[in-house]
């Protein structure tokens, strides 16, 4: 699912906590693009991952049972977002700019942004971070430094929020990786309706 021009709903503004949360509550997220003012997106087709539809392949399920990785929540948010910001092939670009890092680290200090970490002994080898939108969860980015580390972090995140009553995660933009986990696209109106209904439940995901 590629981002299209008509997925952009606003241009400019700032990354203050109040601005970010007002945006997320309306299903909108920032996505910086080099050479342009700050862009805000609410895709016409949104990727979501339903807990009930989660697909764990045979090899990953076996790795999950046998792994010696240690999985934690909110143990190293700054390290996770910095690792996610590392440029990646093929274009070696990143949308996680220093301003984004500062803004979301600020949200973490406020108890709004959260991370899951995968550790090999005391070495961070994978992780994922995202935003708690009043009891809904928007996953932002993940990284790995050894095979399956980010996948296991994602599974740990799903387990964590599901144990607190959440039955889906906003994964924003479809990728082949997320599609293999069972993510599916939904139209913007359906997404916003579901987001509002979930926020109204008042779930406490991380506190």
Of the two residues 87 and 28, the one the predictor is more confident about is: 28
Q: Is the pLDDT of residue 1 over 50?
A: no
Q: 128: domain CATH number?
A: 3.40.630.70
> How long is the chain?
207
Over residues 151-202, the pLDDT tens digits come to: 999 999 999 999 999 999 999 999 998 999 999 999 999 999 999 999 999 9
Does residue 161 lie within any of the structural domains?
A: yes
Q: Is the torsion defined by CA of 17, 165, 115, 110 positive or negative? A: positive
Q: Is the pLDDT of residue 92 over 80?
A: no
Residues 12, 53: Cα–Cα separation, whole Å: 37
Which residue in this structure is represented by tokens 């889906």?
A: 168
Does residue 155 lie within any of the structural domains?
A: yes
Residue 74 burial (C-beta neighbours within 10 Å; 0-12, 13-18, 19+): middle
Copy the structure tokens of residue 98.
């220093």
Longest dimension (CA), the chain: 47
Rounded mean pLDDT, 113-118: 98
| Residue ranges making up the domain that contains 143 | 45-201
Q: Is the pLDDT of residue 150 over 80?
A: yes
Does residue 13 lie within any of the structural domains?
A: no
Q: How many domains does the chain have?
A: 1
Residues 22, 10: Cα–Cα separation, whole Å: 13
Does residue 77 lie within any of the structural domains?
A: yes
Does residue 160 lie within any of the structural domains?
A: yes
Does residue 23 lie within any of the structural domains?
A: no
Rounded mean pLDDT, 86-109: 89
Residues 144, 127: Cα–Cα separation, whole Å: 7
Does residue 178 lie within any of the structural domains?
A: yes
Over residues 35-47, the pLDDT tens digits come to: 899 999 999 999 9
pLDDT value of residue 200? 98
pLDDT value of residue 2? 52
Reported pTM: 0.94
Start-end of H helices in 10-76: 17-25, 58-66
Tell me how far apart the terminal alpha carbons of the chain are, to the nearest angstrom. Answer: 33
């Amino acid at each position: 699912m590629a981002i299209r021009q008509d997925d952009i709903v606003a241009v400019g503004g700032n990354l203050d906590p109040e601005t970010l949360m007002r945006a997320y509550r309306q299903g909108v997220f920032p996505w910086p693009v080099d050479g342009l003012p700050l862009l805000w997106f609410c895709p016409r087709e949104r990727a979501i991952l339903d807990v009930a539809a989660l697909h764990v392949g045979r090899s990953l399920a076996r790795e999950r049972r046998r792994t010696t990785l240690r999985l934690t929540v909110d143990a190293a948010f700054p390290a996770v977002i910095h690792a996610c910001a590392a440029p990646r092939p093929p274009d070696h670009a990143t949308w996680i700019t220093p301003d984004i890092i500062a803004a979301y680290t600020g949200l973490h200090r406020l108890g709004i942004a959260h991370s899951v970490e995968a550790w090999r002994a005391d070495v961070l080898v994978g992780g994922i971070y995202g935003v708690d939108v009043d009891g809904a969860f928007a996953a932002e980015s993940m990284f790995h430094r050894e095979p399956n580390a980010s996948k296991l972090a994602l599974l740990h995140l799903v387990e964590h929020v599901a144990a607190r009553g959440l039955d889906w995660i906003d994964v924003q933009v479809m990728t082949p990786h997320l599609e293999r986990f069972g993510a599916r696209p939904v139209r913007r109106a359906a997404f916003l309706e579901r987001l509002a209904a979930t926020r109204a439940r008042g779930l406490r995901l991380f506190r």
